[in-house]
Chains A and B, each alone.
Chain A
Amino acid sequence: MRTLSVLRTQAFRIVFVYVAVFALSVSALLAFTYWNTERALDAQTDQIIDAEITGLAEQYQRLGLRGLAEVVMSRSAHGGPGLYLLLDRAKQPIAGNLDGMPQKMKGQGPEVEFDYERKAEGQLQRRRARGRVFQLLGGFQLLVAQDVHERFLTEKLFSTTLPWTVVLMLLLGLIGGGLMSRNMLRRLDQINRTAGEIVAGDLTRRVPVSRAHDEFDTLAESLNRMLDRIERLMGGVREVTDSVAHDLRTPLNRLRNRLEDTLRHLDPDGREAGEIEAAMRETDQIITTFNALLLIAQADAGVMRGAVSLIDLAPITDDVAELYSPLAEEKGVSLEIKPAGATMIEGNRSLISQALANLIDNAIKYTPEGGHITVWPAVTPQGVDLIVADTGPGIPREDRVRVVERFVRLEASRNSPGTGLGLSLVAAVASLHGAQLLLEDNHPGLKAIIRFRRPPLPGRSPQRR
């Protein structure tokens, strides 16, 4: 798990790619140098061979075949790097220090390379040579060559060492990258963990700053400054919503009191009483809308009011569905609860009940007589889905995003009562729980899902501020 995440970091990739490119260029450079050196060495050898041939050609012209054979014999006796062989028409050696014409000769152009055997330090050695073959008049052949075994050994050594060098470099790069990314990952992990805790609601957490004064500390410091500011702003939002609530509810309270007081002194069956009652209903509607807006505003600001605890969605679903089942029955709609296993989440019972009540209320409102509503919490690999599915008209795909927005009511429902905040409120409650409200097609009907993610296992941070 740990190594996998180390291998997947940017730092590791950068180091690894760098080392790979480095290894590649070093090998290319070495190969080029080697090739150049070899060429120079070969040229040198070829020059020597040229000189020898020129010398031998002179002897041949002056003294004929016999003279050439003598010179070849005397030169062969030297025991140096020079190799000679003179063959007659029947390809039988006349003179030279080679046993016969080598079987295999490689190479293009006048120069060829071949292997030969020579006795050295009492042992027969297979060595590499480079030379040229001449056709002489009368069907004779002359081979003049130089021993290049040292060069050949170097070449062999080089071609076996180079791949290993590359492998070693890549291996070192792998280790270096791993170490570097582990170090960076540790620092990033601290930042990630802090961010996670803040998202979970603890605004007092800060990224730990080390004494190294490196770029991570600079990042941590500016993140912490940002967090200080966010914390102040959040505190502000809390205060503002509180005082807005207070400042708006106080006059609304007086308004309602006044209306009630007036109503008490009127003839309950008179026309005025009816008007006052209607005004009171409007006031109550304003209050309902205001309460919903306040909750949405708090949710948008991420201000969770009320206690959060580990709760089971199954009994909550049962209770809310039970509250609404007579209403559904009266409308001729069946309301079914599917049983579920353990559906534990971190949440606030009251808010989730309210959100579920809104979804079921909507479903009953829009499902025609004879329709079905199914409510169930479902355990998913990621967490728990709280689902309300109906067989009503549903919501067209293009409107599904829009209906969650504030005050949006589709043309079709314009005439039924409601604040137009129902689904926004559900979405707000969902977002307070780090959950998501999804609207899907139920074929036919609407399938509303509140998707709760399983709470992450409580990770202990090694460093507490």
Chain B
Amino acid sequence: MRILVIEDDLEAQRYLVNGLKEAGHVVDDAADGDTGLTLALSRPYDVAIVDRMLPKMDGLDVVSEMREHSNATPVLFLSALSDVDDRVKGLKAGGDDYLTKPYAFVELLARIDALMRRRSPSSVKTRLQVGDLELDLLTRAAKRNGTAIDLQPREFRLLEYLMRHAGQVVTRTMLLESVWEYHFDPQTNVIDVHISRLRAKIDKGFELPLLHTVRGAGYMIRAHA
């Protein structure tokens, strides 16, 4: 995958680029808004990672410009500003996701994966399937191996999010943001408890577990071990 990194903090940029390369991505980098915008408009990228505060041209303006040139590359904002309205501003300018510094690299990777997948038109699906687990988005019914599973509304949304990102790492923060719409750290790991309840409903009594814990990162639902 081709990724564009626009970040003015050179040390942070180096770690970011190295990390992404080690994860198997092809990475271009720019240290200011102008150069970044030129690169973004001249070459196709799967994802752009843009710092919000950049010299020459602000990160928000870079993304607005990209959108004005009908460039639809998914954008992940990085910012040292954590307030809810900073996030809202970022998303309004055309960003697709917003990550506050300091971030965990696994969090960044998971979010990039999610952004790249989003480009494929999977959101129009009315049924999700992972192995023998099926989720009907219209009737809001879950079945595993033909047996109906009774889910609470929130559990359904949790499972839906996991299944939409099947095969990808989903972090606790991503779950908290998309399933509960909270943008704060709840300190105690409440998400883990919700996951273990969901796991008890979908994996208990089956030989092959589907919901896996990814150490140091989050969770993943997948059909094969």
Q: How far is the CB of A190 from chain B (nearest CB, A)?
A: 32
How far, in angstroms, from A242 to B82 measured CA to CA in the complex? 10
Are A327 and B188 touching (Cβ within 8 A)?
yes
Q: Which residues of B contact A (CB under 8 A)?
A: 9, 11-12, 15-16, 18-19, 22, 53, 80-85, 88, 100-106, 154, 180, 182-188, 190, 193-194, 197, 216
How far, in angstroms, from A116 to B102 measured CA to CA in the complex? 112
Q: Which residue of A lies closest to B187 (CB)?
A: A361
Q: Which residues of chain A are near B88, meaning CB under 8 Å? A: 307
How far, in angstroms, from A255 to B9 measured CA to CA in the complex? 13
How far, in angstroms, from A322 to B184 measured CA to CA in the complex? 16
Q: Show 19 A/B contacts (Cβ-Cβ < 8 Å), sorted by A.
A: A249-B101, A249-B102, A250-B101, A252-B101, A253-B9, A253-B12, A256-B103, A257-B15, A257-B102, A260-B19, A260-B106, A261-B18, A305-B83, A305-B85, A306-B83, A326-B194, A350-B182, A353-B184, A357-B186
How far, in angstroms, from A245 to B83 measured CA to CA in the complex? 11
Q: How far is the CB of A322 from chain B (nearest CB, A)?
A: 6
Q: Which residues in chain A, 347-372, are within 8 Å of chain B measured between CB atoms?
A: 348, 350, 353-354, 357-358, 361, 364-365
Is A418 engaged at the interface, CB distance under 8 Å to the other chain?
yes
Are B188 and A246 touching (Cβ within 8 A)?
no
A-B pairs with CB below 8 Å: how many? Answer: 105
Pick the contact of B81 from A246, A350, A357 — CB < 8 Å? A246
Q: Which residues of chain A are near B183, meaning CB under 8 Å? A: 350
Q: Which residues of chain A are near B11, meaning CB under 8 Å? A: 254, 257
How far, in angstroms, from A365 to B102 measured CA to CA in the complex? 28
Are A255 and B184 touching (Cβ within 8 A)?
no
Are B193 and A250 touching (Cβ within 8 A)?
no
Are B84 and A350 touching (Cβ within 8 A)?
yes
- The segment from A43-51, A208-216, A283-291, A399-407 found at the interface with B is A283-291
Q: Which residues of chain B are near A358, meaning CB under 8 Å? A: 187
Are A253 and B101 touching (Cβ within 8 A)?
yes
Is A300 engaged at the interface, CB distance under 8 Å to the other chain?
no
Q: Which residues of chain A are near B101, meaning CB under 8 Å? A: 249-250, 252-253
Q: Which residues of chain A are near B154, meaning CB under 8 Å? A: 322
Q: Which residues of chain B are near A364, meaning CB under 8 Å? A: 188
How far, in angstroms, from A358 to B185 measured CA to CA in the complex? 10
Q: Which residues in chain A, 248-280, are within 8 Å of chain B measured between CB atoms?
A: 249-250, 252-258, 260-261, 264, 277, 280
Are B184 and A350 touching (Cβ within 8 A)?
yes
How far, in angstroms, from A326 to B188 measured CA to CA in the complex? 12
Is A150 engaged at the interface, CB distance under 8 Å to the other chain?
no
Are B15 and A258 touching (Cβ within 8 A)?
yes
Q: Which residue of B lies closest to A243 (CB)?
A: B80
Pick the contact of B216 from A250, A261, A277, A294 — CB < 8 Å? A277
How far, in angstroms, from A254 to B84 measured CA to CA in the complex? 23
Q: Which residues of chain A are near B186, meaning CB under 8 Å? A: 323, 357, 361
